[in-house]
Chain A
């Protein structure tokens, strides 16, 4: 029987491409997100293109109380779950940094909701002593910058959370992989001025699905972002705070 991957936040372009890359490897899919119509369309598409089983279910990230039940139901529908890709993402806007009522939602979706649903996934996989969790964080979480530090802080927290989870699940043989994409050509970035080195969602999705076969715990996508971030992280605060980034 084919293995099943749960994709959380499945309607984003990166999630869709990642789901396609897993489907191409023969995985069945359970697609979760807010928009039932879109999920149904994406599931139908992947099922037809890759001749796999693809189901979908509504997942409300902000409704933390619903997470346990959601996860139970997803497993009931698919029989079992072998892996999870967390692709929840909400950029908010520049206001998020100044106006906390906006920022709170950014933190809720990118970090709190992620930690909540992953806690259920982690316990399930830990008990089965196999499987994987791939969390999509962001290079924005590597250093706080005035342009989007609320989003960056939430993603940074997610990266740390995944690091801890990796440490905890190591003993049970469950892989936890952190993915940090740079700029990707998605609805989130479309039309934004000043973007450079923009990768296609397909490229990112394929690399994410390939990560399982490799040993790295944290991957930057495309790879050169590791070095860009290395430089950015190494700038002393004394200098950094004067920069317009």
Chain B
């Protein structure tokens, strides 16, 4: 394959965690027909909101300009679009017309292709499953340049290898998605405070408190009797008729403020975060009466500060996210939180969510249980030992870590956590025998080796 005619740009690139940083050759197609393999080795990239090395590699295909909305049926809520479009762009079009995304991650600045490739989950996984379960079909561009439509019913094996497949089966070109109807841009939210981890789990399990969306913010710096104290935030889409009159006008969106520089490592020290968490716990824990929040505040609180990843300083951070099956979840989360507080490298942001049944995605992350996500700043190399010990806890309890956030897992542990890898690999070898799609994640975890 000749690459001489395709303009490339070599630039250091990283995921959202800013670790690792690698020099990657990048190509940026603007036309749909140019979205295809261009070299011996490449990986597609959306908005680079995966935290680690999933969207890094020798050569990276930027999909940001291949972002057209192709069809939107406002009667059925079916949207077809090119994979580079962001959820933010989609929401801007669909919400005023009474539709919402069936599943959304905690930021809207991700691409449609990235959501399929990581088979992302939202705060409603326990009810509605992962992203792929709402995908009607995708057009996948294979290593040989051919284009295949796949879905849960058509070329199903390829579909289930691609969702959660981290871009390694090909370039996702187009996605058709089933949206859900909403009658307002607001979410009706209710908070419940939990004094410790046992209470947190009890709140999650209480049917009376269950709602379409739920997530618990955990105060990671609380220890001892307070270990795992949290605020459970539940919500569902508010009906237009339930809104107070003041909210019935089209909402004005606030402009994101930007984090203009890297914060010195000192600023986010355990003491300042401890203080912040205590205040936050009290404030948020008191909102036991239902209130209305605009969808952007409820689903995407961090998006209001552009480049918030700079908060963690130049060395960046790792987001550690794992899921533990129900039976071992309480013990594992306790052990994880304890390991963190003992290490004195506290996480500054921790959230716990419930996940429902696992789908047929061969490498999809979600499985029934609880998922814990932690932001851990990379102050020094000692962090890696901590992360390895967290991996051990997760393994012991039958859990797995999320590839879209991982930066440190090993090939051996990966294989235990993702038992369907062999099936996935067989299909990968069939459709991409020359291993044209490769990322730094795939080489680190030896994903394409038997």
Contacts and interface: CB of A to CB of B under 8 A. Distances in A.
Interface of A: 11, 13, 35, 37-38, 41-42, 44-45, 48-49, 186-187, 190-192
B331 interface: no
Nearest to A186: B30
Interface stretch (B62-70, B272-280, B375-383, B401-409): B62-70
A48 B7 contact: no
B28 A45 contact: no
Given A35-B31, A37-B32, A41-B82, A48 B71 contact: yes
B33 interface: yes
Nearest to A192: B7
Contacts of A186: 30
B30 A42 contact: no
Contacts of B33: 35, 37-38
Contact of A44 (B7, B30, B68, B89): B68
Contacts of B8: 191
A226 B433 CA distance: 54
Contacts of B65: 13
Contacts of B89: 49
A55 to B, nearest CB: 15
A38 B69 contact: no
A49 B7 CA distance: 30
Lowest 5 A-B CB distances belong to which pairs?
Answer: A191-B7, A45-B68, A191-B9, A48-B69, A41-B68
B69 A49 contact: yes
B72 interface: yes
Interface in B38-91: 65, 68-72, 82, 89
A81 B336 CA distance: 66
17 contacts: A11-B30, A11-B31, A13-B65, A35-B33, A38-B31, A38-B32, A41-B32, A44-B68, A45-B69, A49-B69, A49-B92, A187-B7, A187-B28, A190-B7, A190-B9, A191-B7, A191-B8
Given A37-B33, A48-B93, A49-B93, A190 B28 contact: yes
Interface residues of B, number: 18
Contact of A41 (B9, B70, B72): B70
B59 to A, nearest CB: 13
A197 B65 CA distance: 20
Contacts of B28: 187, 190
Nearest to A45: B68
A45 B70 contact: yes
Given A41-B82, A49-B93, A191-B9, A13 B30 contact: yes
Interface in B87-101: 89, 92-93
Given A190-B9, A191-B8, 16 more contacts: A11-B30, A11-B31, A13-B65, A35-B33, A38-B32, A41-B68, A41-B70, A41-B82, A42-B68, A44-B70, A48-B70, A48-B72, A186-B30, A187-B7, A187-B28, A190-B28
A191 B60 CA distance: 13
Nearest to A188: B7
Contacts of A38: 31-33
A203 B33 CA distance: 26
A192 B30 CA distance: 16
B384 to A, nearest CB: 35
A44 B68 CA distance: 8
A73 B25 CA distance: 44
